[in-house]
Structure 1
């Protein structure tokens, strides 16, 4: 007998909750914010909107379904199951945070603060949940491209927006960079890191670098099997070059970086605390990931 579907609600602790936990009381948190020229009522209002959204989505879960709730900080310890329907209640970035832990489960993004969030990934309102949840089992979904980094010691990292490779603190990283399997150049570089991003990431960090560079590269779409990569602030010297600083990675092409520093890290979607750690002589391969994020449109 097959298991009933499970709705997994993903959320994050609100700024108001973090403030009260840190300062002890609402009044102490209000005083702290007032010294910074902020009003706690605006923060509390966003907290209440988030809580109402969570309650509305919870109430919309079909009675025959199972349900679970997971906070962002606990995602790396939560076991998602094949029959799950994942409902992200919050901001666009929270969808990116959960994407790396999934294996094809449909995702519904619920925007708790329309007008404040771009709504690229959280495309729906809490009132839509009653119709979206049962439909998620049979309806089509956008298959968003993801990026992966695989180290030579089998460490692996997956991200929805972008992967950063560089030094802790974004200081000078030393490495050798080249494209795999094309017989082309491999260049020794010193830079503040390498950024490899997807079409979904083209609304964020990758886009900002792309705009500054003014290259002729075309930004990929979210479902395109094509990535862009940029070297940040490459430094020319007698021992390091700047000829390989940007390009495309159409699948299955991959970028290879070999570490020539004592310690480099690889992290995805801004989550620097969840990083791969590499040492001198190790190599890492970066390219489009075989798995996709199935986002309900």
Structure 2
């Protein structure tokens, strides 16, 4: 019988101050840079100290636990998680979202390093609670929230998942060109790209797009629409919106908004000779190439995130 505890994988990020020191080589140069810009260096310092304190507390717990590994979030795309791993993200909320999309149902514990700074919608715990939460999670005695994910699967076999949203378009501010197939309709479009949102992400980027479109329509004499309502976190459907569709002799704009379900995917075929991309959750440097001839099918992922409560 194996009495070894389950392995814990701790995911951390560099603070703003640590990023600046890396960029400017020394603490003093980072401080000079910020103060020269009129920024509050003391706030950067407070954030760094709070994060370091929380990290020391979490690390002490894991040293007592025994089996653990500590990795930076930059390594997530290439890290191989084991099926029985327990994952901890010492956040902000964005770190939790960025971690969940690389998991396959492993429980994730979100730790808020500074509750006075971060609302922590995805960070229900502070570092001091970790010993009890971790033991209960390992014994499968903690409740959890199920977080459905979006997935883009390409005709060349590649795929990318998203906790909040997928962006499909071009790297720059030029127009994206593609063929869209949805609900039995098919047309060529030219736009600023598409956003596909999960229930969790429907309070963010998609909300801003929809709210802006409603306001513009009403300002131009359109009927007043009900206020935007996000999807619940555990929704079994996705929403998509086309940004700034441009109707012309060669492009249409009738398929601009809708819902995606597992049996009703959204299909796209790229017409872009270069710079076509798909990225998720705002991480632009972790992307799939979406260029001429490649087809993408977007639907709910087969796996889901598991956020410990």
- TM-score, normalising length from structure 2? 0.90
Counterpart of 2:284? 272
Counterpart of 1:79? 80
Cα drift, residue 281 of structure 1: 1.8
Distance verdict in 2 for CA 1:16–1:64, change over 3 Å: closer
Cα drift, residue 27 of structure 1: 1.8
Counterpart of 2:269? 258
Counterpart of 2:29? 28
Counterpart of 1:19? 20
Matched, 1:219 2:230: yes
Counterpart of 2:202? 202
Matched, 1:53 2:54: yes
Tell me, what secondary structure is at the counterpart of 2:267? Answer: strand
Tell me, what secondary structure is at the counterpart of 2:120? Answer: coil
Counterpart of 2:8? 7
* 8 Å Cα contact 1:8-1:70 kept in structure 2: yes
* 8 Å Cα contact 1:30-1:39 kept in structure 2: no
Q: Give me the whole-angstrom Cα distance separating, in 2, the residues matched to 1:12 and 1:143.
A: 24
Counterpart of 1:155? 158
Counterpart of 2:106? 105
Q: Give me the whole-angstrom Cα distance separating, in 1, the residues matched to 2:116 and 2:209.
A: 25
Deviation sequence 1:188-213 (CA, Å, 0-9, x none): 10001011010111232122112223
* 8 Å Cα contact 2:8-2:69 kept in structure 1: yes
Q: Give me the whole-angstrom Cα distance separating, in 2, the residues matched to 1:62 and 1:43.
A: 28
Counterpart of 2:171? 168
Distance verdict in 2 for CA 1:199–1:118, change over 3 Å: farther
- TM-score, normalising length from structure 1? 0.94
**Number of matched residues?**
294
* 8 Å Cα contact 1:161-1:200 kept in structure 2: yes
Counterpart of 2:304? 292
Cα drift, residue 242 of structure 1: 1.0
Tell me, what secondary structure is at the counterpart of 1:63? Answer: helix
Counterpart of 2:219? none
Deviates more, 1:12-21 or 1:108-117: 108-117
Q: Superposition pairs for residues 112-127 of structure 1, below 5 Å?
A: 112-127=113-128
Tell me, what secondary structure is at the counterpart of 2:39? Answer: coil
Distance verdict in 2 for CA 1:76–1:145, change over 3 Å: same
Deviation sequence 1:102-136 (CA, Å, 0-9, x none): 11110011111224323121122111112111111
Q: Give me the whole-angstrom Cα distance separating, in 1, the residues matched to 2:64 and 2:267.
A: 49
1:281 aligned to which of 280, 285, 293: 293
Tell me, what secondary structure is at the counterpart of 1:279? Answer: coil
* 8 Å Cα contact 1:200-1:222 kept in structure 2: yes
Tell me, what secondary structure is at the counterpart of 1:150? Answer: strand
Matched, 1:229 2:240: yes
* 8 Å Cα contact 2:203-2:230 kept in structure 1: no
